[in-house]
Chains A and B, each alone.
Chain A
Amino acid sequence: MTSGLIFGLTGIAVFAIGLFGALVMVEPLRRVLALKLCSVGAGFLLVVGAWREPPEAPDPVPHALVITGIVVMISATAVALALIRRLHMLERDTDD
């Protein structure tokens, strides 16, 4: 039992929960959040794959990849949210 094992399983669980949400949820905002959960879970799995017990230095390459992933994810989230806002306006205009 190590920290890597615990957070690896946590990451897989969060990924599966997020995937379920992205497939089943109807609300667009909740779907975006579900995909964000997926990305966090995937990041955990990536870093845990290279995890070492603390005295050893961790592998920096997956860390850099996950940081890149976080920045790409906020870009994707921002575009998705802009589309949601636009969709909301179009729906409101057709309702009037």
Chain B
Amino acid sequence: MVEPLLLFDALLGLAIAALAVAVLTVHDRFAMIVLFIVFGLMSALAWVRLSAPDVALAEAAIGTGLTGALLLTTLHHIRAAPAAPVPVPGGVVVANLGLCALIFGGLAFAFLLTPLQAPGLAPAVAQNMAASGVGHPVTAVLLNFRAYDTLMEVVVLLAAIVAVWMVERGTVQAPAPVLGEIYRGFSRLALPAIVVIGSYLLWVGAQAPGGAFQGGAVLAAVGLLLLLGRLYRPQPAHRPFARAGFVLGTAVFAGVALLVAGGGRLPFEYPAAHAKTLILLIEGMVTISIAVTLAALFHGREPEAVPVSEKSE
């Protein structure tokens, strides 16, 4: 009964590698992005086959959906650029091809020789699950055992939005396309459902695959739909709310760590009785920050006093 599934895995692996080649070789830039989105969805399927549903959700929502939206909106802004192909000398291509083939060979050799049945950290996680405050191992690792990593990850997201606002300050962007009434009707239908799905993913993360990052990414899609349908237009007056949204997750996360440390413990050694409450508090606030930040990254430029439409040609 194992054989057909292995055949499926082999086909899926081949499709993923072929799509990676196609992303780099296809001439049209729009087709390149579409192929990349297909690549991302196929790799989400591969994550499911590797029994990593949390990673599959994150890959599909963040790595593919939102990244694809970012790439497409960037392509819209730089569309005017004639993609003038500067020819790369053949020698450079051959040398790099050889280098990458060597790297592939070396890594594959090392991978095939490595015993993959090492015990790893799974037993340590399983032993301490009772003290973590949640029932899902990945959430326990993200928000309890390795919470420093996650705190830094939220800080990276904050740094990204700060950098994007700085880089694009004072620029004028191409006006967004008008998508029409059917799209608006669809977004009115989809918005409540997306809010429910995002909140569900956040809530279920304590016991099953899901959590702050997946839920936040799905909620960010609400922002994308609103921005694309022009149901919401960012105003300069809204900047303080946006900034508050960006820092909320980091502030609460760091604040909890400091409070716990103030009680004579290590920074993320939550008191066992309050672990679940604290984790849910952090997850909720981090979800809001992730949703606001990802939607703002999609919008790109900081809303400034001069409206875009007045200066467009």
Direct contact of A and B (CB under 8 A): yes
Q: Which residues of A contact B75 (CB under 8 A)?
A: 29
| Cross-chain contact B96 with A23 (CB below 8 angstroms) | yes
Which residue of B is nearest A58, CB measured? B51
Q: Which residues of B contact A13 (CB under 8 A)?
A: 17, 20, 104
| Cross-chain contact B51 with A7 (CB below 8 angstroms) | no
Give the residue of A21, A23, A78, A86 whose beta carbon is less than 8 angstroms from that of B160. Answer: A78
Is B187 engaged at the interface, CB distance under 8 Å to the other chain? no
Which residue of A is nearest B129, CB measured? A60
Q: Is the interface of A mostly helix, strand, loop or mixed?
A: helix
Is B167 engaged at the interface, CB distance under 8 Å to the other chain? yes
Is B201 engaged at the interface, CB distance under 8 Å to the other chain? no
Q: Is the interface of B mostly helix, strand, loop or mixed?
A: helix
| Size of A's binding interface in residues, CB under 8 A | 76
Which residue of B is nearest A75, CB measured? B160
| Cross-chain contact B213 with A47 (CB below 8 angstroms) | no
Is B29 engaged at the interface, CB distance under 8 Å to the other chain? yes
Q: How far is the CB of B161 from chain A (nearest CB, A)?
A: 8
| Cross-chain contact B168 with A85 (CB below 8 angstroms) | yes
Distance between Cα atoms of A15 and B43 in the complex (Å): 13
| Cross-chain contact B97 with A20 (CB below 8 angstroms) | yes
| Cross-chain contact A14 with B116 (CB below 8 angstroms) | no
Q: How far is the CB of B265 from chain A (nearest CB, A)?
A: 22
Residues 119-143 of chain B: 1 if any A CB is under 8 Å from the residue's CB, otherwise 0? Answer: 0111001100000000001101110
Q: Which residues of A contact B111 (CB under 8 A)?
A: 8-9, 12, 45
Give the residue of B5, B52, B92, B97 whose beta carbon is less than 8 angstroms from that of A63. Answer: B52
23 contacts between A and B (CB under 8 A): A4-B50, A7-B46, A9-B111, A10-B46, A14-B16, A15-B104, A37-B23, A48-B116, A49-B114, A51-B51, A61-B120, A64-B54, A64-B141, A67-B138, A70-B63, A71-B156, A71-B213, A76-B160, A77-B71, A82-B163, A82-B167, A82-B168, A89-B171
Q: Which residues of A contact B85 (CB under 8 A)?
A: 26
Distance between Cα atoms of A75 and B52 in the complex (Å): 22
Q: Which residues of B contact A77 (CB under 8 A)?
A: 67, 70-71
Distance between Cα atoms of A5 and B15 in the complex (Å): 16
| Cross-chain contact B17 with A14 (CB below 8 angstroms) | yes
Distance between Cα atoms of A8 and B51 in the complex (Å): 14
| Cross-chain contact A24 with B92 (CB below 8 angstroms) | yes
Q: How far is the CB of A5 from chain B (nearest CB, A)?
A: 8
Give the residue of A3, A59, A61, A73 whose beta carbon is less than 8 angstroms from that of B9. Answer: A3
Residues 66-96 of chain B: 1 if any A CB is under 8 Å from the residue's CB, otherwise 0? Answer: 1100110011011011010110100011001
Give the residue of B74, B116, B142, B159 whose beta carbon is less than 8 angstroms from that of A4. Answer: B116
Identify the stretch in B146-154, B254-262, B272-280 within 8 Å (CB) of chain A at 4 or more residues: B146-154
| Cross-chain contact B66 with A50 (CB below 8 angstroms) | no
Q: Which residues of B contact A34 (CB under 8 A)?
A: 23-24
Interface residues of B in 1-53 (CB under 8 A from A): 5-6, 9-10, 13-14, 16-17, 20-21, 23-24, 29, 32-33, 36, 39-40, 43, 46-47, 49-52
Q: Which residues of B contact A82 (CB under 8 A)?
A: 163-164, 167-168, 300
| Cross-chain contact B122 with A60 (CB below 8 angstroms) | yes
| Cross-chain contact B120 with A27 (CB below 8 angstroms) | no
Is B107 engaged at the interface, CB distance under 8 Å to the other chain? yes
